[in-house]
């Protein structure tokens, strides 16, 4: 999932905003034989390149996790200032389309980044929710543009293809201290998250929220990248701050439910 401030998901919606949560049975996983899991709230969540096995029967038709309700038709618009100070707009829409990944019917979420009306990035993200409420991230098809021409598809991946593994965007029952991978495709997509707080106050153009989930997002592919993301109940991803640069920021301007 591309970091939102560094030109976002899925989130990257989220991700944040992508194992089952502690004590849950949804999204069954089979860890690698050599895997050693640290006891605690993260022990059931996927870490790094740990393989997982998902059972399609454990997944539900609709993504209704309150921290990021990806119901078909929901649409989010953000104003973004990237690390270089450029002004951008990000629009995320949950489409009515589905994509079969590992036998799971994943929601197709359309993420478009524009600058002065020109498309800079166009991405299809694939998400699904298990019966416990964990939102899984199953991949993305992303294209970066310059002057209307595709210049890169770097970061694209699909769970189950070429060793890529699914991850968690938002856990069903988040706890402070939880760590988990959001995606894994070696050398291309290795985002991970750490839950810092469940009680944050957030103010963005769309409104003010209390009790928001705060994550710290990073990737070993870019040690200089560090973001804080804030997911607010019934509104989804509301704010992203580029901690590393101290400049980048993305705030929610519009949230339309069932816009289609």
Q: Indicate the number of domains in the chain.
A: 1
**Cα separation of 142 and 57, whole Å?**
28
Question: Domain for residue 47, yes or no?
Answer: no
Token pair 């524009």 in the structure block, residue: 114
Question: Domain for residue 166, yes or no?
Answer: yes
120: CATH: 2.40.360
Question: Domain for residue 9, yes or no?
Answer: no
Question: Domain for residue 217, yes or no?
Answer: yes
Question: Domain for residue 78, yes or no?
Answer: yes
Sequential pLDDT tens for the chain (260 residues) = 654 433 333 333 333 333 333 333 344 443 333 333 333 455 589 999 999 999 999 999 999 999 999 999 999 999 999 988 999 999 999 999 999 999 999 999 999 999 999 999 999 999 999 999 999 999 999 999 999 999 999 999 999 999 999 999 999 999 999 999 999 999 999 999 999 999 999 999 999 999 999 999 999 999 999 999 999 999 999 999 999 888 999 999 999 998 55
Question: Domain for residue 154, yes or no?
Answer: yes
- Identify the domain containing residue 63 by its residue range: 56-256
Please report the pLDDT score of residue 43 as a whole number.
58
What is the torsion angle, in degrees rounded to the nearest 10, for the CA atoms of residue 183, residue 189, residue 192 and residue 198?
-70
Question: Domain for residue 101, yes or no?
Answer: yes
Please report the pLDDT score of residue 182 as a whole number.
98
Question: Domain for residue 7, yes or no?
Answer: no
In 3D space, the residue among 143, 84, 69, 159 whose CA is nearest the CA of residue 111 turns out to be 143
Predicted structure pTM score: 0.84
Please report the pLDDT score of residue 39 as a whole number.
38
Please report the pLDDT score of residue 192 as a whole number.
98
């Amino acid at each position: 999932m591309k970091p939102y401030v560094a030109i976002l998901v899925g989130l990257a919606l989220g991700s944040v905003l992508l194992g089952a949560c502690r004590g849950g049975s949804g999204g069954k996983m089979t860890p690698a034989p050599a895997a050693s899991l640290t006891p605690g709230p993260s022990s059931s969540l996927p870490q790094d390149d740990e393989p997982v096995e998902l059972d399609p029967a454990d997944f539900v038709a609709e993504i209704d996790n309150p921290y990021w309700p990806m119901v078909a038709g929901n649409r989010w618009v953000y104003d973004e200032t990237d690390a270089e100070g450029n002004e951008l707009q990000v629009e995320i829409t949950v489409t009515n389309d589905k994509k079969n990944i590992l036998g799971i019917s994943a929601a197709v979420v359309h993420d478009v980044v524009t600058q002065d009306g020109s498309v800079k990035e166009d991405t299809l993200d694939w998400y699904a929710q298990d019966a416990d409420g964990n939102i899984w991230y199953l991949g993305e098809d992303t294209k970066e543009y310059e002057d209307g021409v595709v210049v890169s598809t770097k970061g694209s991946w699909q769970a189950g293809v070429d060793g890529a593994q699914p991850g968690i965007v938002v856990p069903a029952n988040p706890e402070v201290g939880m760590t988990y991978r959001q995606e894994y495709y070696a050398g291309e997509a290795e985002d991970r998250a750490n839950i810092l707080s469940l009680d944050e106050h957030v103010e963005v153009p769309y409104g003010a929220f209390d009790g928001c989930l705060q994550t710290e997002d990073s990737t070993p592919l870019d040690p200089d990248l560090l973001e804080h993301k804030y997911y607010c109940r019934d509104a989804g991803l509301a704010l992203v701050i580029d901690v590393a640069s101290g400049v980048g920021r993305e705030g929610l301007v519009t949230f339309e439910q069932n816009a289609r």
